[in-house]
Amino acid sequence: MMLRTSLLGYPRIGEKREWKKALESHWAGDTSSEELHAEMKRIRLSHLQKQKDAGVEWIPVGDFTYYDHILDTATMFGFIPERFDYEGGQVPLDTYFAMARGNKEIHAAEMTKWYNTNYHYIVPEIENTTPSLTENYLLNAYKEAKEELDIEGKPVIIGPYSFLKLAKHYKHSDFPELLENLTKVYSQLFTELADEGVQWVQVDEPSLVTTIPEEDITLVSKTYETLNKEVPQLNLLLQTYFDAVSHYEKVSQLPVAGLGLDFVHDEGKNLHAIQSQGFPKDKVLGAGIIDGRNIWKAKMKDKLVLLKEIQKVVENDDQIWLQPSASLLHTPVTVKNEPDLDETLIQALSFADEKMIEISTLQKLAANEASADSIELQENEQIFADLKAKGWRQEEPDRTAFKEVSRTLPYEERRKEQLEKWQLPTLPTTTIGSFPQTRDVRRLRARFKKGELSNLEYQAAIKSHIETWIKHQEEIGLDVLVHGEFERNDMVEFFGERLDGFAFTKNAWVQSYGSRGVKPPIIYGDVRFKAPMTVEETLYAQSLTDKPVKGMLTGPVTILNWSFERDDLPKQQVAFQIAEAIKEEVSALEDAGIEMIQIDEPALREGLPLKREDWQTYLDWAVHAFRLSSSHVKNTTQIHTHMCYSEFQDIISAISALDADVISIETSRSQGDILETFEDNVYDKGIGLGVYDIHSPRVPSEDEMLHVIDRALSVLPADLFWVNPDCGLKTRNEEETIAALKEMVSAAQKARNKVTS
């Protein structure tokens, strides 16, 4: 009997971002819907062929999407908000994209983080919708793979429990009834798949690794009992990832044919669960042994030891599917497109395509009794010996313990000094930091990197863009300005390129949301400050205006969470190294006379562990890292921070503990839902709730923004409130940006008149 191999999902973006380019060409009006569909099919089939060529036995289908897999599920089940004028049947492509991105008339659906990752999903809106099957996307995907490539695919879909947990706009008390109604539609979906001859369906239930109440497990049991009763001939693999499954004893007894567990990010809990409580003899175990989220090659000797422990519990090898710990959506496509990286580092990296090879290698090693002496194992061990020999991985003292750091004065006292220093009006206006990264700006950076421009020519061009946008900001009437970040390709990559311990790729793109991709830096060694990174541009901007210009930095926790971190040190130790480096940059700005400094931490919330019992440990070190980078400044130096698209209700006390003088948080796309947090919690520091959604091309009206401001002022004191967009403006064009900011300033002035009259 032989171990089988499986994938949970494959990156959509393409080796050279073909997927992104196809979407953006269509959105720009350069290609028709027919041309988009044809290109998407070509990309989709090429991805499936890759997996087939790599020898993957259970290849996922239906994980490919035109924007987001949760949006796909919502539209497949007819969850279309009323504002989109949906009349039933197959959802039009324009409606699909409008839900994702908005349009000139309608605001988009909310977007938020996918569990504890940097991927964003479109939040389903349940409202009063009765679910129905508008189109069986999974059936189409299965048939295409079989007919075009002779692949017996494994359809993948988010499970009904997790789908509802990720959704909004329903009463908590209605959850059982909604789940029951949704289960009926899943039954219909699965029946159609079974009738077509589908053997296995991967049903993702990542919410089962979160802290969930006992009564929810009862609902989950009822759900899968119904599905098993309605479609007994279909094998369901209930797949979990990102942490250890909660309530293992009951989840393992659900009437499904298989259970997928993460043996990488579970801190050993899943292994302990199967060892102490056993594993059902009638189920397949999807063993997530290869890391699906980080990019380091697996230490095969360690993985074989883990696998042998699993095999002691699951005695029949054909019951074990070797697979990544999560969908490979979270990794770049292939290492082969990174020829400029250090050869030692390249050998140690494993992206999506290489992880498929690792799974195959692990399968072969497990089948070979003499594997301990195999060439594959020897070569694998040499990779990590070479890393150590480079001196990149020093034996550092344990720095996970930390002493409290704090500002000299508490907020209320230093605020008095800041009010006197800055003399800002009530409801001051500002932006989050970046301005449009136009084609000209991107071309400018590319030419400089290629050596086509001298440093002097490049700096002159950057300064020209700064001059333009300082002038725009003054004409618009903003109170606190920014330099625009035209020299920055990415808010993490920019800083990593200027610090020790980071490596950078050319084509290792990962989807963040929609067509937006990021290239996470690779932290391979100790992080250290080298020289000031932002002082020159910020000082130049400040020289052009009498209004304050904020210094713009990325915080240590975000740099860590948005990088592929080294795996030989505790995360918090790496965070503290980064914090020390950012602290040096804060000092350099302050010494240069820049005394309003924003240290963005948009990824602080996404790093929160999925189980509540683990939260406090993470928040303690995350808050400490931020304070380590910012608490040494003068009383009059105003520290800002920014967070976007996350659920902040659960961590409001930790946000306050950051002790930033001003924090800006998204509120526009969620239509002000975050405001409920401040109805129940007192927040006593400066706060800006983003009054419009920058991810949509739509320019909201003054009245819409005034409504958000008025609602915010019903729960927040006017003397602490700031007015700003909900995120940076790099993805928008100049015309949209100026128009929206003018409306925002006008709305702020009207609100200011109300509260000061």
**Residue where one domain finishes, among candidates 269, 304, 330:** 330
Q: What does R_g of the chain's alpha carbons equal in angstroms?
A: 26
3-state class (DSSP) for residue 27: helix
Asked if residue 340 is part of any domain, the answer here is no
Given the residues 26, 632, 695, 707, select the one marked as catalytic: 695
Asked if residue 702 is part of any domain, the answer here is yes
**What is residue 298's DSSP assignment?**
P
The predicted-structure confidence for 146-168, as pLDDT tens digits, reads as follows 999 999 999 999 999 999 999 99
Indicate if 65 and 200 belong to the same structural domain. Answer: yes
Closest CA to 574 of 649, 502, 675: 502
- CA end-to-end distance (rounded Å), the chain: 81
CA–CA dist 126, 239 (Å, integer): 24
Beta carbons of 694 and 729 less than 8 angstroms apart: yes
pLDDT score, position 271? 98
Indicate if 312 and 450 belong to the same structural domain. Answer: no
Indicate if 325 and 431 belong to the same structural domain. Answer: no
**Residue where one domain finishes, among candidates 306, 330, 354:** 330
Indicate if 554 and 439 belong to the same structural domain. Answer: yes
**Residue where one domain finishes, among candidates 330, 358, 384:** 330
Asked if residue 16 is part of any domain, the answer here is no
3-state class (DSSP) for residue 194: helix
Does the annotation flag 17 for ligand binding? yes
CA–CA dist 57, 320 (Å, integer): 12
Beta carbons of 377 and 365 less than 8 angstroms apart: yes
Asked if residue 666 is part of any domain, the answer here is yes
Asked if residue 644 is part of any domain, the answer here is yes
CA–CA dist 274, 43 (Å, integer): 39
CA–CA dist 270, 754 (Å, integer): 57
Does the annotation flag 37 for ligand binding? no
Q: Catalytic annotation on 695? A: yes
pLDDT score, position 586? 98
CA 4 to chain CA centroid, nearest Å: 30
pLDDT score, position 192? 98
Cβ neighbors of 622 (< 8 A, separation 6 or more) are: 557, 575, 604, 607, 654
Number of residues that make up the chain: 757
pLDDT score, position 563? 96
Indicate if 612 and 745 belong to the same structural domain. Answer: yes
Indicate if 549 and 639 belong to the same structural domain. Answer: yes
Which CATH number characterizes residue 508's domain?
3.20.20.210
Q: Name the domain count of the chain.
A: 2
Indicate if 310 and 420 belong to the same structural domain. Answer: no
Cβ neighbors of 220 (< 8 A, separation 6 or more) are: 161, 205, 208, 251, 254
Asked if residue 29 is part of any domain, the answer here is no
For residue 613, the enclosing domain spans 411-756
Asked if residue 440 is part of any domain, the answer here is yes
- Identify the residue whose tokens are 């699965």: 190
Does the annotation flag 666 for ligand binding? yes
- Identify the residue whose tokens are 């020829």: 339
Indicate if 458 and 314 belong to the same structural domain. Answer: no
Closest CA to 619 of 578, 655, 589, 579: 655
Asked if residue 392 is part of any domain, the answer here is no
Does the annotation flag 20 for ligand binding? yes
Q: Could you say which residues of the chain have pLDDT below 50? A: none
**What is residue 371's DSSP assignment?**
G
CA–CA dist 744, 721 (Å, integer): 14
Does the annotation flag 606 for ligand binding? yes
Beta carbons of 422 and 596 less than 8 angstroms apart: yes
- The amino acid that residue 435 corresponds to is F
Indicate if 426 and 280 belong to the same structural domain. Answer: no
